[in-house]
Amino acid sequence: MPGGTVYNLAMAWTRRESPTAGVFARGPLRVSVAALLCALTVTLWGQPHGSGGVNRPEHLAKPYVVLVSLDGFKPEYLDRFDLPNLGRVMARGVRARSMVPVFPTLTFPNHYSLVTGLRPSRHGIVSNNFWDPERARKYSMSDGVGVTDGSWYGGEPIWVTAETQGMVAACFFWPGSEAAIRAVRPTFMTPYDGKVPNGARVKTVIEWLRMPRQQRPHLITLYFSDVDTATHRGPLDSPDVEKAVRSVDVAIGALLDGVDALPIRNRVNLLITSDHGMVDTTQAQSVALESVLLPHGMSEITQSFGGPVASLHLRSGILRAAAIRDEINATLQHGRAYRRGELPERFHYRGNPRAGDVVVVMDESWTLRTPGQRQGSLERWGQHGWDNGLPSMRATFLAVGPGIRRGARIGDVRNIDVYSLMTELLGLRAARGIDGRPGRIKAMISRQER
């Protein structure tokens, strides 16, 4: 029986209450069978180093971590809107002034940096969509098959760290979680489906935390897209944005209530994050590449990806990169083109050819439109992807749980340090050579021992 078939059978069995929501059935017998199916899946997918769906004895008394992403949630929303449930988190835990994302400030690069502690040039997910010149293939976040190919993903995501050390992990949506990375998948995984209601997502997480302790995942990811979707469809001051912010607050409330009702409630850590900020843009701030590059220059480009940061791959590689750079910069008024090796060091974006031979970094709220890319049809809408040093691109970070300070506010944190924090909370050995700094966030959020 092929691995994918067994995987689907395992997921179908464990979704007895709601096939759409992926809610796990209760009862020791059902859970045990589900765990065995997941263990079989591990073997057939070529994952000999996974947990096998069972926590090793040394992990049974350890805490739990639920990593939550509120895609596109700006820190200022915590002050702009009345959010009682996120308010509960802040009263019981720690709020950072902001979280510094990686460059470019896009969804897939930042989500994958959060769980690996690596910057995009090192983990390889340099954008939501990019070209790999070595493979001569495109990666796209919307390619349901391509995202399951583990060979695209570098580094070691936190669920791989957990599973290879004998700790059960579960992902209710997260970029990279659908792939076998280093030949390992999380024991429980839900393929992305934006139609799954938030309440069903939360219910599944709580069901995971109710499982017998041998099968209960200690590491869980959970993702909500409401705010990002709303801001892409209209301006940041739209009523729809407020509605979306309030909807994720309701989901957080359900998560808090569910955790509070668990026997293990005093062992659960919630890390509530976002991946990037957002700023308004307009059609008038969208520049066509053809307007700043002459036809002979356009003929040099084999692959291009536009937006706040544009990647241009050239037929001649770096040989003509300087000429293309100069031609663009001679006309472009609201951005700057670089040969990849000339990008500002603070972007940490020079090292991977997937980023392009020429990289164009646009000014805040301006975008570069490449051939085949449609101009926005809205008068004003939200966008992200710009310089990660801009205040508008900052993300959110909240933490609550055992040993975490209560009602505390701290300064800025970096998303590349979140991976280390999770390994520290879970008592796991972190992967070597990460970009994040071990202990940095933990020192900021931990209660002082008396």
- For the record, the structure tokens of 106 come out as 């896009």
Residues 266 and 287 reside in one and the same domain: no
* Side chain identity at residue 63, one-letter code: P
For the cut 90, the answer to whether the pLDDT of residue 302 exceeds it is yes
Calculate mean pLDDT across residues 16-31: 31
List the domain range (segments joined by +) for residue 375: 281-383
For the cut 60, the answer to whether the pLDDT of residue 43 exceeds it is no
For the cut 90, the answer to whether the pLDDT of residue 15 exceeds it is no
CA nearest 273: which of 231, 224, 232, 218? 224
Residues 217 and 354 reside in one and the same domain: no
Residues 105 and 227 reside in one and the same domain: yes
Region of 263 on the Ramachandran plot (φ > 0 left; ψ -120 to 50 alpha; else beta): alpha
Domain count, the chain: 2
Domain annotation covers residue 168: yes
Dist CA 351 CA 169 (whole Å): 31
For the cut 70, the answer to whether the pLDDT of residue 48 exceeds it is no
Cα 254 to its chain centre, rounded Å, is 22
Calculate mean pLDDT across residues 44-72: 85
Domain boundary among 383, 399, 431: 383
Furthest CA-CA distance within the chain: 70
107 is catalytic: yes
* CATH number for 351: 3.30.1360.180
* Side chain identity at residue 104, one-letter code: P
* CATH number for 88: 3.40.720.10
Domain annotation covers residue 47: no
Residues 104 and 70 reside in one and the same domain: yes
Domain annotation covers residue 364: yes
pLDDT in tens, 237-294: 999 999 999 999 999 999 999 999 999 999 999 999 999 999 999 999 999 999 999 9
pLDDT in tens, 119-163: 999 999 999 999 999 999 999 999 999 999 999 999 999 999 999
Calculate mean pLDDT across residues 43-61: 74
Residues 305 and 251 reside in one and the same domain: no
Residues 207 and 342 reside in one and the same domain: no
CA nearest 93: which of 437, 408, 448? 408
Residues 133 and 186 reside in one and the same domain: yes
Domain annotation covers residue 109: yes
For residue 196, count CB atoms less than 10 angstroms from its CB and return exposed for 0-12, middle for 13-18, buried for 19 or more: middle
Q: Output the pLDDT for position 449.
A: 58
Task: Work out the mean pLDDT of the chain and round it to a whole number.
Answer: 90
Residues 289 and 349 reside in one and the same domain: yes
Residues 406 and 286 reside in one and the same domain: no
For the cut 90, the answer to whether the pLDDT of residue 196 exceeds it is yes
Domain boundary among 383, 403, 432: 383
Domain boundary among 361, 383, 405: 383
For the cut 80, the answer to whether the pLDDT of residue 203 exceeds it is yes
32 pLDDT band (50/70/90 cuts)?
very low
Q: Output the pLDDT for position 377.
A: 73
Cα 185 to its chain centre, rounded Å, is 16
For the cut 90, the answer to whether the pLDDT of residue 440 exceeds it is yes
Active-site choice (14, 41, 105, 107)? 107
- For the record, the structure tokens of 397 come out as 């970070």
Residues 199 and 328 reside in one and the same domain: no
Q: Output the pLDDT for position 97.
A: 98
Dist CA 24 CA 35 (whole Å): 11
Residues 373 and 405 reside in one and the same domain: no
- For the record, the structure tokens of 128 come out as 């939501």
Q: Output the pLDDT for position 317.
A: 86
Domain annotation covers residue 2: no
Claim: this prediction has a pTM higher than 0.85: yes
For the cut 50, the answer to whether the pLDDT of residue 174 exceeds it is yes
Percent of the chain with pLDDT strictly greater than 90: 85
Domain annotation covers residue 199: yes
Residues 409 and 371 reside in one and the same domain: no
Q: Output the pLDDT for position 318.
A: 85
For the chain, the three-class secondary structure string (H helix, E strand, C coil) is CCHHHHHHHHHHHHCCCECCCCECCCCHHHHHHHHHHHHHHHHHCCCCCCCCCCCCHHHCCCCEEEEEEECCCCCCHHHHCCCHHHHHHHHHCEEECCEECCCCCCHHHHHHHHHHCCCHHHHCCCCCEEEECCCCEEEECCCCCHHHCHHHCCCCCHHHHHHHCCCCEEEECCCCCCCCECCECCCEEECCCCCCCHHHHHHHHHHHHHCCCCCCCCEEEEEECHHHHHHHHCCCCCHHHHHHHHHHHHHHHHHHHHHHCCCCHHHEEEEEECCCCCEEEEHHHEEEHHHCCCHHHHCCEEEEECECEEEEEECCHHHHHHHHHHHHHHHCCCEEEEEHHHCCHHHCCCCCHHHCCEEEEECCCCEEECCCCCCCCCCEEEECCCCCCCHHHCECEEEECCCECCCEEECCEEHHHHHHHHHHHHCCCCCCCCCCCCCHHHHHHECCCC
Dist CA 272 CA 421 (whole Å): 13
Dist CA 250 CA 227 (whole Å): 13
Number of CB atoms found within 10 A of residue 26's CB: 12
- Which residue did the predictor score with more confidence, 375 or 274? 274
Through-space distance between the first and last CA atoms of the chain, rounded to whole angstroms: 58
Domain annotation covers residue 84: yes
For residue 29, count CB atoms less than 10 angstroms from its CB and return exposed for 0-12, middle for 13-18, buried for 19 or more: exposed
For the cut 50, the answer to whether the pLDDT of residue 45 exceeds it is no
pLDDT in tens, 405-436: 999 999 999 999 999 999 999 999 999 999 99
Calculate mean pLDDT across residues 33-60: 60
Domain annotation covers residue 7: no
